[in-house]
Copies of this chain bind each other. A is one copy, B any other.
């Protein structure tokens, strides 16, 4: 099964990076300003993107400063059941973030779009942690003709 893989190194500590992935305020600062729900282990986080809909993610694993694993429980059909993980490790003044979105059934065109879009959001997280300002939806970088 094809996966989406990314890596960004962020000039921040693993603890701060982990907070960006595990608090509603952190997530709203780089992915979408309309983030709600419960980001604790076993909880479900609701990410919303206006008329484009959104994703509900169940928090399957949390290892402070090291790892976050979500499973998509609602959203676009291609996403349901897929898993999204962030593995963190320190490297000098940086935190290395290894990202995987796994479990896609087919390498459909939408997966190509999501791969590029994830890159823009990971760069938004990097920017938020390094400069204080991310580009969460609705201020996200648009990469498609339909405006997302």
Judge whether A145 and B9 touch: CB under 8 Å: yes
A95 nearest in chain B by CB position: B145
> A93–B76 Cα gap in the complex (Å)?
26
Judge whether A113 and B2 touch: CB under 8 Å: no
Judge whether A116 and B119 touch: CB under 8 Å: yes
A4 to chain B, nearest CB (A): 8
Judge whether A92 and B8 touch: CB under 8 Å: no
Contacts of A140 in B (CB 8 A): none
Judge whether A123 and B141 touch: CB under 8 Å: yes
Chain A contacts to B: CB under 8 angstroms: 2-9, 91-94, 96, 98-99, 107, 109, 111-113, 115-116, 119-120, 122-123, 126, 141, 143-145
